Amino acid sequence: MYRFMRGRSCSSYDELHRWSIGNLADYWQAHAGFCDVNFHKAASAVLEQPGDMTTARWFVGAELNFAEHLLRHSGTRPAIIFRGENGVRRELGFDDLRREVASLAAALKSEGVNEGDRVAGFLPNCPEAIIAMLATASIGAVWSSCSPDFGINGVVDRFGQIEPKVLFCADGYFYNGKRCDSLAAVRGVVAVIKSVQRTVVVPFTGDKLNLDGLPNALAWRDFRAADAALNFVTVPFAHPLYVMYSSGTTGVPKCIVHGAGGTLLQHLKEHVLHCDVVTGDRLFYFTTCGWMMWNWLASGLAAGATLILYDGSPFHEDGRILWRIAEEEGINIFGTSARFIAAQQKAGIRPRDEFDLSSLKSVLSTGSPLAPAGFDYVYDAIGSDLQLSSIAGGTDIISCFAAGNPILPVRRGELQCLALGMAVEIFNSEGQPVLQENGELVCTKPFPSMPVGFWNDPNNKKYHAAYFERFPGVWAHGDFAEITPSGGMIIHGRSDAVLNPGGVRIGTAEIYRQVEKLDEIVESIAIGQNWDDDVRVVLFVVMRTGLALDDALRKKICKVIRENTTPRHVPAKIIAVPEIPRTISGKIVELAVRSVVHGEKVKNTDALANPHALRHFADLPELKE
Q: Return the minimum-mean-pLDDT range out of 170-184, 280-294, 323-337, 499-513.
A: 499-513
- Confidence (pLDDT) at 606: 57
- Rounded (5°) CA angle 295-481-21: 65
> Residue 143: pLDDT above 60?
yes
C-alpha span between 608 and 590 (Å, rounded): 12
Average pLDDT over residues 102-115: 97
What's the longest Cα–Cα distance across the chain?
74
The yes-or-no verdict on residue 409 having pLDDT over 80 is: yes
Long-range contacts of 182-191 (CB under 8 A, 24+ apart): 182/122, 182/148, 183/210, 183/211, 183/214, 185/122, 185/148, 185/150, 185/151, 185/152, 185/155, 186/122, 186/214, 187/213, 187/214, 188/152, 189/122, 189/152, 189/155, 189/156, 189/159, 190/214, 190/215
pLDDT band of 615, cuts 50, 70, 90: very high
What are the CA-CA distances from residue 69 to residues 206, 261, 605 (Å)?
33, 11, 54
Q: Whole-prediction pTM value?
A: 0.84
Q: Residue 236: how many CB atoms within 10 A of its CB?
A: 17
What does the mean pLDDT of the chain come to? Answer: 92
- Over 80: is that where the pLDDT of 513 sits? no
Average pLDDT over residues 123-138: 98
Query: Which pLDDT score is estimated for 336?
Result: 95
CA distance 21 to 26: 10
Q: What is the reported pLDDT for 345?
A: 87
Q: What is the pLDDT of residue 505?
A: 63
Give residue 550's pLDDT: 94
**Is residue 499 scored above 80 in pLDDT?**
no
- Over residues 240-290, the pLDDT tens digits come to 999 998 765 345 788 999 999 999 999 999 999 999 999 999 999 999 998
Beta-bridged to residue 174, according to DSSP, are 179
Task: Express each pLDDT in 560-587 by its tens digit.
Answer: 999 888 888 899 999 999 999 986 546 7
pLDDT of residue 71: 98
The pLDDT assigned to 583 comes to 67
pLDDT at 479: 84
Over residues 338-371, the pLDDT tens digits come to: 878 988 987 899 999 999 999 999 999 987 778 8
Domains of the chain: 69-73+96-236 (3.40.50.980), 501-624 (3.30.300.30)
